[in-house]
Amino acid sequence: MVFILVFSACSDDNDDEGTGVPVENTSVSVVPDRTTLYKNPMLGWVIYAGLGSGLSDTFWEDYDNMPSSEGNIKVSDYATTLFIRGAWSDFNPEEDKYVWDEDVNTDPARRFKMLAEGAKERNLKLAFSFIVDSQDKHYNFTPAYVKDAPGMTGYVTTTGSVNVWSPYPDNTVFQQYYEKFIKAVAQKYDDPDVVQFISGTGLGKWGESHTVRYSTEDNAPREQVFDWVTSLYAEAFKNVPVVINYHRCILSRSAWFDSNDEQLAVAERLLNKAVDKGFSLRHDAFGMKSYYKTWEKNYAVNKKYKRPIIGEGGWVKNSHGNSIKNDGYASYADVRKGEFEDARAASVNMMDFRYTKNTVNGETYSWFNDAFPLIEQFISEGGYRLYPDRLSLPSQVNNGSEITIEHRWLNLGWGYCPANIPQWKDKYKVAFALLDKETLTPRYTFIDTAPELSDWVKGKPANYTFTRKISDVSKGEYVWAVGLVDTTKDNNVGIQISARENITPEGWLKLLDVTVN
């Protein structure tokens, strides 16, 4: 199919009378691209991986040759992000030593470098979660140098026949060491060109911020610890989004409670404090009807278009087996559909391809073999997909004169572009450019500061009128173009427009030839 640009003189269209748009403007209509995977920020499918011995040495080979219902595929062709979830002790085996250091050669460091290099080769951004608690693990997830530090206190649990140790998160020595680690991560990875998001808090069972044990053996330190750890992440990462699990037992000693209005109110109040600090949201029980329930669904609806949500399924084929029948699922194809429906109801921006070493019993394999059409449907409909469906611009411009451009934007996705998170404040803007006709690169760029990309939601076209005095522009022939630029990157395009054609290699949407006098 061919991209269509429709040009018509506004002077011949009575609909524009009285709008303030000069009659000599020319109208441009744009046909959207509804299917292409755009690797735009905070959008798309997320590949999961870890640093422990459960990670296959052939990870990338396996994922580059994944069997699917459509034949062998390359998983990274459908994803935007590689999410590395690992133990703090794997990321930071010795004090001031980290897996990304060239001289650190532990097995987790070798795996980390393999994953990070492979992600870069496949145009995937990284994401991280740093797990502190050793509950249900087979080795200590907190580094030995922290465990052995004077004044450190913690507790022992047993996984199978293995005793493992975890710190009390209200211990001040622990907090000092964890702060040092998180700040070291931020110094290296608070880089939105490399990292998609950072998942906090790392505390609690499985790092999911529930089943947290304190030195007091009650919840008395809960809010102090919550305030400390959320401030730590929010202050460390100024440029990369940070996310928190909107769990009903957030930083509570409990793993779950079904109906407790008082505790649910506490959870909502704490989570709102994190959101106010700039946290975005994630949940890891999508599709689990016994754990992703009315409270969770309502919280997601309440934060719709205020913060982006990352969806992660809860059922694990390799370990849960036929337990899915308790939720009314007959097969893992049904589970995938249940996860998808929960994700759509929450208007999520991102979904998960979780990892299992036994690939054929893993969630990624299941998605590509049991629910491939849903993968493609999420790429098409999930998150955000932005384009201007119609614009009005002048084809003749005189230096010293004021021009008027009208433009209307649509979002075809059920999510939104989270330009309203603090880490992205004033980062992404609409810009019009006069492109060189030969190189198709911008000679002059004009930012329209009025549009907020986070306002663009499905079913609600956003209209704008941009006026600008043109001066000191060299006479000649140019091409009008529009782009969604990153103001921190010299106004280069930062978000790809979902238009079918006429996109330059740099991401500008060509609109109209223009003569400047």
Please give the structure tokens belonging to residue 385: 């997909």
Q: Before 441, cis peptide (omega within 30)?
A: no
pLDDT digits (tens, 9 = 90+) for 383-395: 999 999 999 999 9
259: confidence class by pLDDT, cuts 50, 70, 90 = confident
pLDDT digits (tens, 9 = 90+) for 206-242: 999 999 999 999 999 999 999 999 999 999 999 999 9
C-alpha–C-alpha distance, residues 340 and 25, integer Å: 44
DSSP 3-state assignment of 110? helix
Domains of the chain: 6-36+384-516 (2.60.40.770), 44-381 (3.20.20.80)
Question: What average pLDDT does range 72-93 have in this prediction?
Answer: 98
Residue 214 vs residues 131, 153, 204, 265, 456: alpha-carbon distances, Å:
16, 10, 10, 21, 43
Angle between helices 372-381 and 363-370 (to 10 degrees): 90
Of 106-120, 314-328, 418-432, 461-475, give the lowest mean pLDDT range.
314-328
Has residue 182 got a pLDDT over 70?
A: yes
Of 11-15, 125-129, 330-334, 346-350, give the lowest mean pLDDT range.
11-15
Mean of all residue pLDDT scores within the chain: 95
Q: Comparing C-alpha atoms, which of 302, 308, 375, 376 is closest to residue 348?
A: 308
The pLDDT of residue 56: 95
The pLDDT of residue 437: 97
DSSP run (H or E) holding 185: helix 172-189
Has residue 461 got a pLDDT over 70?
A: yes
Share of the chain above pLDDT 90, in %: 94
What's the residue count for the chain?
517
Question: What average pLDDT does range 407-420 have in this prediction?
Answer: 98
Has residue 2 got a pLDDT over 80?
A: no
AA identity, residue 260: N
pLDDT digits (tens, 9 = 90+) for 9-24: 333 333 344 456 788 8
pLDDT digits (tens, 9 = 90+) for 263-303: 999 999 999 999 999 999 999 999 999 999 999 999 999 99
pLDDT digits (tens, 9 = 90+) for 314-342: 999 988 989 999 999 999 999 999 999 99
The pLDDT of residue 79: 98
pLDDT digits (tens, 9 = 90+) for 471-495: 999 999 999 999 999 999 999 999 9
Q: What is the pTM of this model?
A: 0.95
Residue 445 vs residues 69, 437, 493: alpha-carbon distances, Å:
46, 15, 11
DSSP run (H or E) holding 243: strand 242-245
> Are 278 and 420 spatial neighbours (Cβ–Cβ below 8 Å)?
no
Has residue 77 got a pLDDT over 80?
A: yes
- 311 forms beta bridges with 283
C-alpha–C-alpha distance, residues 314 and 328, integer Å: 15
The pLDDT of residue 19: 53
In sequence order, which ranges of 22-87 are alpha helices (DSSP H)?
A: 59-64
